[in-house]
Amino acid sequence: MKVKVISVLEDNYMYLVIEESTRQAVAVDAAVPKRLLEIIRKEDVVLRAILTTHHHWDHARGNEELAQLFPGLQVFGADERIGALTHRVTHGQELTFGAIRVRCLFTPCHTSGHMCYFMWEDDSPDAPALFSGDTLFVGGCGQFFEGTAEQMLINLTQILGTLPKDTKVFCGHECTVRNLKFALKVEPENEAVKEKLAWARVSVCAPCASPIHPFCPKFPLQPHPCSQ
């Protein structure tokens, strides 16, 4: 399972998840069709489906255009407000795309219909991946537009917090440094936050807002490729 990280808009991420044996792919939060199509052509893959975490335009804007370009394209999500939605999913539901398996994890708060997607391949040495949309970021979480702090706490501790420790997190926005600066103001003596902020400052490229991925919370310190 190969994950292509695609930086779009001001600080958003789209993702293209590729099953390498068949060259079929699934997109996550296809907000900018033109950019996604460039990557699809470059990787020489066939787009089978779109997984949308929530209905906000910067995550779902490209669904209708892509559905027109690819007749029969499946669009998954948990909110009827998602454009071109063909399959409404529920918490714990599992999907299969070739060897790629997906578990849907319902995390309402940022929006009332927010869904995260946990992916893995059976019998693969690769670590599983979480596509967390606007629920979980590095050093923070999404704004509570349609939910409560109690809901977000459940999302982070009881749902996402119980995933395997080696899970690689692919979030919906690049706001790592900003989140950690805020955390350091709240807890100025927190050594873990200081260490993580130091990591983020060398791992996130300000000009292109692009991190070193996979964005695991314990990813080792190293310079961003743009700085080399």
- Which residues are catalytically annotated? 54, 56, 58-59, 110, 134, 173
**Per-residue exposure over 77-97, b if at least 16 CB sit within 10 Å of its own CB, e if not:** bbbeebbbbeeebeeebebeb
Residue 188 DSSP label: T
**Rounded to an integer, what distance in angstroms lies between the CA atom of residue 178 and that of residue 187?**
14
| Cα separation, 1 vs 25, whole angstroms | 9
Q: How many residues does the chain have?
A: 228
